[in-house]
Every structure is written in structure tokens, then in C-alpha cells.
Amino acid sequence: MDINEKFKAEIKTESGLKRILLKGIIDEDTDFESVKKSVGGPLVVNFKGVTSINSCGIRTWVNVMKDLAASPVTYEDCTPLIVRQMNMVPSFLGHAKVASAFVPYVCENCEAETMVPVKAESFSNGNFTVAESMKCTSCNSGEMEMDGNPKQYFAFAK
Ligand SMILES: [Zn+2]
């Protein structure tokens, strides 16, 4: 696969707010130059499209965040993959605020998996208001349980 094909940073500006949509694989080949050029105003980083990240990619992103130190940064649509990095490597989150994340659920009956989007209100200030289980919509008989417990999953939100 071509280096330029496996990662893409799409930059959109809506009413003065810059939103960067990261897509694909973040690793040693990832070039965040276009992201660094956005230094200045407030920035929203959307992680929904990131499919994988390795330790080199994490290090590179941590450095990007250092370069963005003067810019208010908001993370949105943090998938379980990104949540894991934020919990393991606090500087991955750095000075950014998390506006929204996905919570993984697994059905105990049919093993169907789903991800439910939640807003920061559901995991801020030690108040976890995310559902720990819900009815499975695949088999219509099992309960979908949250994969992990809220306190651990949202450990980054201290
Ligand atoms: Zn099920």
C-alpha cells in the first residue's frame, strides 16, 4: 500500500472552527505536517476513521500535541482504540478535552458487538451515566454488556 493511501488527514473549516478528520493507519510513516500547519486557533480532532495505531504512531502524535500546546484542542468520536491509548499514555491526550467517545458493548448471547456514541457529560467529573447493559438488537433475546467497566474505560477523564 502506498504511504499516502494508508493515512489521510482531512481538514474542514466550519464557521471558523477547524476540524481535522484522521483516517487510516497511524504509524512511523504518518506525516502530520498538514495538522501542524493548523496551529493557532481552536482545533477539533476527529478519531472515528483511525483504524490502527502503533507505538511509533503514538509517539508521533504526542509530539504533534506538544506543537499544538498553544491551541485549544478537542477530541471527538474517540473509538475504543483511541480510548485505550489515552488511558495508557496520558500525554496522548495531553491538554486536549474529550467531547465524545464510543463505548463498546458485547452480547452475552450471540456475541454481537456494537459501539454506542456518548458525550462528555456521560463520563465527566467521576459521574458515569453510560448504560452498563442494554437489550441486544441482533438476537433480540440477550443482554449487551459494556466491554469493561466505566471507571476503567473512562480512566482518562480524571
Ligand atoms: Zn445478541
User: pLDDT by residue (tens digit) across 39-48?
Assistant: 778 999 999 9
If one counts every other C-beta atom within 10 angstroms of the C-beta of residue 57, the result is 20
**113: CA distance to ligand 1 center in Å?**
8
Q: What is the pLDDT of residues 145-158, one digit of tens each?
A: 999 889 999 999 97
Q: Is the pLDDT of residue 1 over 60?
A: no
**104: CA distance to ligand 1 center in Å?**
14
**115: CA distance to ligand 1 center in Å?**
14
Q: Is the pLDDT of residue 118 over 90?
A: yes
**138: CA distance to ligand 1 center in Å?**
5
Rounded to an integer, the average pLDDT of 99-120 is 97
**134: CA distance to ligand 1 center in Å?**
10
Q: What is the pLDDT of residues 119-144, one digit of tens each?
A: 999 998 888 999 999 999 999 999 99
User: For residue 2, what pLDDT is reported?
Assistant: 56
Helix (H) or strand (E) holding 57: helix 55-67
Rounded to an integer, the average pLDDT of 40-65 is 95
Separation of alpha carbons 75 and 111, rounded Å: 29
User: For residue 158, what pLDDT is reported?
Assistant: 73
**135: CA distance to ligand 1 center in Å?**
8
Q: Is the pLDDT of residue 50 over 80?
A: yes
pTM above 0.85, yes or no: yes
Which position has the grid cell 512511523? Answer: 28
**145: CA distance to ligand 1 center in Å?**
10
Contact (Cβ atoms closer than 8 angstroms) between residue 18 and residue 42: yes
Which position has the grid cell 486557533? Answer: 41
Amino acid identity of 113?
E
Q: Which long-range contacts (CB under 8 A, 24 or more apart) does 35-42 make?
A: 35/9, 35/11, 35/64, 36/64, 36/67, 36/68, 38/11, 38/71, 39/67, 39/68, 39/70, 39/71, 40/70, 40/71, 41/16, 41/17, 41/71, 42/17, 42/18, 42/71, 42/72, 42/73, 42/74
**130: CA distance to ligand 1 center in Å?**
19
- Residue 3: band (very low, low, confident or very high) from pLDDT cuts 50, 70, 90: low
User: For residue 98, what pLDDT is reported?
Assistant: 97
What does DSSP assign to residue 37?
T
Kindly report the backbone phi and psi dihedral angles of residue 153, in degrees, each rounded to the nearest multiple of 5, phi listed first.
-60, -40
User: For residue 36, what pLDDT is reported?
Assistant: 84
Rounded to an integer, the average pLDDT of 95-112 is 97
Q: Which three cell numbers stand for residue 17?
A: 472552527
Q: Residue 109's closest CA among 134, 144, 147?
A: 144
Q: Which has more pLDDT, 45 or 4? A: 45
